[in-house]
Amino acid sequence: MSLQIKPILVALRRHKAGTLLIALQIALTLAIVCNALFIIHQRLATLSERSGVDEANVFVIQNQWAGDRSTQQVDAQIQADMLALRQLPGVRDAAPISGGYPLRGGGWDNFVTMTPDQVKPTTDSSVYMGDEHLLDTLGLRLVAGRNFRSDEVHGRGNEQTIIPPVVIVSKALADRLFPGGSALGKSFYAMGATPSTIVGIVDRLHRQGASQWDKAHAGQSLIWPARLDDPSGIFYVVRAKPGQLAATMREAPKALYAQSRMRIIDPKDGIQDYAEIRHRVFDSDRGMGS
Amino acid sequence: MFAYYLELGLRSLRRNPALTALMVMAIGFGVAASMTTYSVFRAVSGNPIPDKSAQLFTPLVDNWGPQQNIQGEPPDALDYVDAMALTRAHEAKRQTLLYQVQMSVMPGGDRDLPLAANGYAVYGDFFPMFEVPFRYGGGWSKQDDNARSADVVISDQLNQKLFGGADSVGRTVNLNGHDYRVVGVTRHWNPKPRFFDLFNTSGFKDASDFYMPFTRALDLKMRSVGSNSCRGKITYTTWEDFLQSNCVWVTAWVELDSAAGVARYRRFLEGYAADQQKAGRFAWAPNVRLHDVMQWLDHRHVVPPESRISLLVALGFFVICLVNTIGLLLAKFLRRAGEIGVRRALGASRREIYTQYLIEAGTVGLAGGVLGLLLTAAGVAGVGVLFPPQIAKLAHLDVSLVGLTLLVAIIATVLAAFYPAWRAARVQPAWQLKSN
């Protein structure tokens, strides 16, 4: 073999410029292709992240209130809206959700501490608020403990920061705070003066954001039992019965407008299913991955 | 001589069609990839208010302290207490506070459903500071700010929806159940990036529908629909408690004309923070910032990382194409060693040969540039595949991009030709003539 390599090496030495050019080209191409592949791989990994939501059957309604409503009026309207949505034939369950919804692209997050006076936070968690129907509506899988009871869910105004005494957390948050699977029944503080006790743990619940900054607490989420009676608006999540997503998405706004016309549901993007939500939130990542 | 060499160059394009086509394609694709991604990069990294970007400043005060702030930096917005204190001190020629609000336009006329409207609560100085263009009327005065008037400035788009585009100054619009008097209608105004509100937005959003007095929004206890960031324990239970909390949600801007004015304002900010420390509100030394527009864009990382990465990848690809072109030019030129030998024997200097082949390379670059231009046009039109719609629609092909595409193609090819042309110029006439 060495006999055959020698003439090649000699030839290469005689055409130094050509050899150098080819070597340079190969090196540059490899460098750029490898880097590009690495970036694509990273982005594709983000794209395929699971949200924990039953994405095939769930859609979100962005409901903005019109006019000047008091907190009490908003609370009553939310409850009336929920009854109307849950009565639709294609609907399995429906719930109000505040703080954002999984993959919304941004929302609430609170620092978490183990004691009320701890200055340096233990970690950070996405915060969702909803009622006892939220778990079933999103399709979250309870792996320990129980769901909220209806008597634990209260309406609260924007400025009424009342920390609910019970909380449901994602497994990622439970494991982060109490390694070893002993989280159920334990308490923590999420920027409040009073603690919340973990009554339930769900398998998986994605944060609202999909950007890079909150990667560190990916998957760490908590749900508080509350209806946030924000006079500007609220999100409703609705889970359709299998195969009835499209029909239910058409029926839902009609049912809500029948309850009250003093609301705004954007005809263009006021109602989105998870295919659209995913598409929107990962727009920039998909560009880099395609 | 230049014209003659140019003609020779153009003629030689046809001489080795395969080689030439390869080079033109390499340069065309390379330059098109670079220019397409550059068009996006240029759109997102531009100066949104070139004539005033050095006079507009956003002040920041660290109200969280070293244990809770973000790596020593003050939060990127102000809490209510600091925002109002800076406003009352009135140390700048013009100043405004702002936050995002959302309202509904109540039904009226032939509309039976309410309309959503997104806007900002601002002070009257907002309009002259940011050079908001008006179609009808104008902003409101300091007296209106102080009187907490129910005035509103609406966008041309909202004016079109509500009043059919007519001069609506003086007319009434019902927002969230309250009547507001229209004092001005803006022309289309949506600076990109939206430098004045990078706390709530990433810089690229649809134009706002309205602007209302900040003082009025506070009276109505309107919460920001943008970001709100707090530290420590959140214990407020009323609007008044919320205003006194350490939650940051207000953006402030001041207009300062001279370097001396900037220095004075900086001293004022330091002094303010020092007073807070003395009063016991802050348990830390003054930590303040005063960013001008371009510093603020940089600080908030407005240029999406995607646009920077794709520009770098495209430039890398262009470099590969150029290295390729060097090899191809070398083959093309040295194939004509005999011809060069004859010219040298007839008295042409090395310098002349060198010039001739550089110009010939320039013609290759021009052809590559023309192909690149067509591909760039296609690329800019299809940029939506790579970037989110809000960013993609900013990219466009204009005269400067056309010029730049051709220029980059020609210059890059001439640079790539330095070595091949040098080799051509060093051809030994005697050897060539002998072998012929």
User: Which of B106, B116, B177 faces A64 most closely, judged by CB atoms?
Assistant: B116
Question: Residue A179 and residue A255: Cα distance in Å, rounded?
Answer: 46
> Which of B81-85, B119-123, B222-226 is predicted least confidently?
B222-226
- Within 8 A by CB and 6+ apart from B200, the residues are B99, B100, B224, B226, B227, B251
Other Cβ atoms within 10 Å of A20 Cβ, number = 14
Q: What is the dihedral of CA B153, B159, B161, B166, to 10 degrees?
A: 150
Partners of residue B121 on adjacent β-strands: B99, B212
Instruction: Give the residue with greater pLDDT, B123 vs B192.
Output: B123
**Are A159 and B237 an interchain contact pair (Cβ–Cβ within 8 Å)?**
yes
The arithmetic mean of pLDDT across residues B58-87, rounded, is 95
To test the contact with chain A by mutation, choose from B100, B104, B228, B303 the residue with the greatest count of A C-beta atoms within 10 A, namely B104
Report A:27-86 residues touching B (Cβ under 8 A). Answer: 28-29, 31-32, 35-36, 39, 64-68
Is A21 within 8 Å of B306 when comparing Cβ atoms?
A: no
Q: Answer whether B59's CB lies under 8 Å from B252's CB.
A: yes
Query: Are residues A32 and B115, on separate chains, in Cβ contact within 8 Å?
Result: no
What does the mean pLDDT of chain B come to? 92
Confidence of residue B192 (pLDDT cuts 50, 70, 90): confident
B436 residue type, one letter: N
Q: Has residue B336 got a pLDDT over 90?
A: no
Closest CA to A226 of A81, A82, A98: A98
Answer yes or no: do A159 and B225 touch at CB < 8 A: no
Q: Retrieve residue B360's tokens.
A: 């010939």
Q: For the segment B392-411, what is each residue's pLDDT rounded down to a tens digit? A: 888 888 899 999 999 999 99
- Residue A195 and residue A187 in contact, taking contact as beta carbons nearer than 8 Å: yes
Specify the pLDDT at position A211: 66
Query: Among A213, A214, A283, which would you mutate to test the B interface (most chain B Cβ atoms within 10 Å of its Cβ)?
Result: A283
- Chain A residues in contact with B416 by the CB 8 A cut-off are none
Are the beta carbons of B387 and A232 separated by less than 8 Å? no
Task: Decide if pLDDT at B221 tops 80.
Answer: yes
Global confidence as pTM: 0.85
- pLDDT score recorded for residue B395: 82
DSSP H helical ranges for B14-147: 17-45, 80-89, 126-129, 142-147
**Min Cα–Cα distance to chain B from A283, Å:** 5
Contacts of A160 in chain B (CB under 8 A): 237
B223-270 pLDDT, tens digit each: 999 999 999 888 888 999 999 999 999 999 999 999 999 999 999 999
Q: How many CA atoms lie within 13 A of B183 on its CB side?
A: 16
Q: For residue A285, what pLDDT is reported?
A: 61
What integer pLDDT is reported at residue A20 of this predicted model?
86
- Does residue B351 contact residue B7 with C-beta atoms inside 8 Å? no
What's residue A290's pLDDT?
44
Which residues 125-184 in chain B show a CB within 8 A of chain A? 176-178
Q: What residues of B are in contact with residue A36 (Cβ under 8 Å)?
A: 313
Distance CA B39, CA B206 (A): 20
In the prediction, which pLDDT does A185 show? 95
Nearest alpha carbon to residue B78 among B278, B276, B279, B303: B276
Residue B308's pLDDT is 87
Distance from CA of B94 to the nearest CA of A (A): 31
pLDDT at A43: 78
**One pLDDT digit (tens) per residue for chain A, 290 residues:** 556 888 888 887 877 888 888 888 899 889 888 988 888 887 777 777 788 999 999 999 999 999 888 899 999 999 999 999 999 999 999 999 999 999 988 889 999 999 988 988 999 999 999 999 999 999 999 999 999 999 999 999 888 888 999 999 999 999 999 998 889 999 999 999 899 999 999 999 988 877 655 567 788 999 999 999 998 899 999 999 999 999 999 999 999 999 999 999 998 889 999 999 988 887 756 555 54
Q: CA-CA distances (angstroms) from residue B313 to A29, A232, B388?
A: 11, 44, 18
Of B312, B303, B387, the closest CA to residue A36 belongs to B312
Distance between CA atoms of residues A277 and B309, nearest Å: 25
Top pLDDT among A138 and B109 is at: A138
- How far apart are alpha carbons A175 and A182 in whole angstroms? 8
Contact A145, A201 (CB under 8 A): yes
Which residues in chain B are contacts of A193 at CB distance < 8 A?
Answer: 233, 235
- More confident site: B386 or B318: B318
pLDDT at B87 over 80: yes
Which regions of B41-106 does DSSP assign to beta strands (E)? 56-61, 94-105
- If one counts every other C-beta atom within 10 angstroms of the C-beta of residue A26, the result is 12
The model's confidence at residue B184, banded by pLDDT at 50, 70 and 90, is: very high
Mutate to test the interface with A, among B176, B335, B383, B423 (most CBs of A within 10 A): B176
Q: How far is A104 from chain B (nearest CA, A)?
A: 14
The more confident residue out of A24 and B98 is B98
- Residue ranges of B 253-282 with Cβ closer than 8 A to chain A: none
B323 touches chain A (CB under 8 A): yes
DSSP label at B224? P
Cα–Cα distance measured from residue B292 to residue B298, given in angstroms and rounded to the nearest whole number: 10
Burial class (CB in 10 A: 0-12, 13-18, 19+), B178: middle
* B281/A46: higher pLDDT: B281
pLDDT, greater one: B408 or B433: B408
The domains of chain A are located at 2-47, 58-285
Q: Which of A20, A25, A214, A278 to mutate to test the interface with B (most CBs of B within 10 A)?
A: A25
Beta bridge partners of A130: A97, A225
The stretch B38-51 carries a mean pLDDT of: 89
Cβ of A21 within 8 Å of Cβ of B102? The answer is no
